[in-house]
Structure 1
């Protein structure tokens, strides 16, 4: 896939960190899920609280594994074929990437919260625990990307225009390749976490 991004290398491109995009939904999904589960456990529901919490616990275990493993082959293939970012490419700040993703998905997040809360009338707390588990899964996927970045000593980036065309998914069909930079580029550490000041010295 190294040749797939050559047409865009002749001009400057806005680039967003792949791991930051993946992490962007983890916090709002986690807290929305916790909040929905906390309210939901107060509702007796059709199944009763005990069954609801047990079902939610099972979903909380399964969801992170499914989310964390989903699409790994695609990410790995794009990472292997990553082309080097050009000197004129613009590296988007971590905060900007996170804010853009959350703004673009705010209605989806709101609907997911409403669905998790509403499901408590049938199975108390289960929907909220599922949503929280999905947030954990995104964090685990970002951590996996971080381990790969450290092993390759290179950070992975995706073109902002491709990201927008693909609904904010960094490894979707509209994304034809990743870019790579040195490990010290940008303001986010491997895995997408905020880079500590000490790491820049």
Structure 2
């Protein structure tokens, strides 16, 4: 009986320690991420060849070292083994969206020109939060960390492309809504599988950025 009591006490102690560790980790993750204002200016609008691999055919490339800075801060908080995305672009038009519908309406150069006309090459993006998506996967949990941005200009541009597709009868060119985010890190390299991405701000946002 004494041995059973000791085992129960030990199990309870381990449970408490585990709870305290997880609570401490969540508190650390929720602390604001540090960025100065200069880190959020100087975005570059880029278009890629539709035949190339990658998530986006049109996107915004962030200022130098922005993603690396946030990746380092994230790792220092979580101490988890994660991988960075193969490309830093913030997706505006997905490659699949372009290939399935928009390719017959606009060439890549025309798409880029429309984006410039919409002022997307002059944006200063406002970060909402550092967020994370999690989902069960083969007995474990996949994770995807990203920065969510408030970007009415990009949403308006995507709506403009959808209207163009509808006007020309290209139903495959109708763009589904998705949030504008900068990928930071993931538990695996399959970043494209998270799109089209919708964010539950109440549950997915983990920390402010500022």
Higher RCO structure (Cα 8 Å, ≥6 apart): 1
Higher strand content, 1 or 2: 2
**Rg larger for:** 2
Higher helix content, 1 or 2: 1
What TM-score do the two structures reach when normalised by structure 1?
A: 0.26
What TM-score do the two structures reach when normalised by structure 2?
A: 0.26
